[in-house]
Amino acid sequence: MSVRILALVGSLRAGSHNRQLAEAAVKLAPEGAEVVLYEGLAEIPFYNEDIDVEGSVPAAAAALRAAAGEADGFLLFSPEYNGTIPAVLKNAIDWLSRPFGAGAFTGKPVAVVGTAYGQYGGVWAQDEARKAVGIAGGTVLEDVKLSIPGSLERFASTHPVDDAEVAEQLTEVIARVHGHAGEAVAA
């Protein structure tokens, strides 16, 4: 049984260290797991109930919902913008939280990880993302955390997949999401 884990990255910058971390997750996925890096968060309009109408949901939001519907679990990669969650990630969570009580996160395991240039690795933003996705119905894996500080220096010339410590920790995160998702699929 293969488990599909959808990765959402809260940074749109092409050279983002969080995007690189997500790319590393794709490469480090264990046998039986597929980590899929979602492209297209930049095209999704801000959530607005007036445009979230059956039959006329914006194509970019519908595509996100379709990809999330095929996922067995989620890995969210969050940098920290002004001490909190980036708008692009919050917007994705908002779209996936609907329809209320039956959104794409409902009952599926979610882990939030990331890196930031500050000394705490973006923990405030990651905590906010956990809170939002939990309210949106996801089964937040509260004990599965990875906050990597000092991203500007640490990843200046090294991709996260080539950093042995990060690769080991990220592999463990993926394995934990994979395990929880596999249990949910089998149930």
pLDDT in tens, 17-58: 999 999 999 999 999 999 999 999 999 999 999 999 999 999
| Segments forming the whole domain that contains residue 148 | 3-186
User: Are the C-beta atoms of 146 and 170 separated by less than 8 Å?
Assistant: yes
What does the pLDDT read at residue 102?
Answer: 86
Write the CATH number for 156: 3.40.50.360
| Number of folded domains that form the chain | 1
DSSP 84-108: B--HHHHHHHHHHT-STTS-TTTT-
What pLDDT, on a 0 to 100 scale, did the predictor assign at position 32?
A: 93
Output the average pLDDT for the chain.
Answer: 95
For the stretch 57-84, pLDDT in tens is 999 999 999 999 999 999 999 999 999 9
Closest C-alpha to 25, from 148, 174, 147, 163: 174
pLDDT at 182: 82
Contacts (Cβ under 8 Å, ≥6 apart) of 160 = 17, 20, 21, 23, 24, 115, 148, 166, 167, 170
Cβ atoms within 10 Å of 74's Cβ, excluding its own:
29
Residue 109, amino acid: P
Q: Is 166 helix (H, G, I), strand (E, B) or coil?
A: helix
| Per-residue pLDDT at 133 exceeds 70 | yes
Instruction: Report pLDDT for 1.
Output: 65
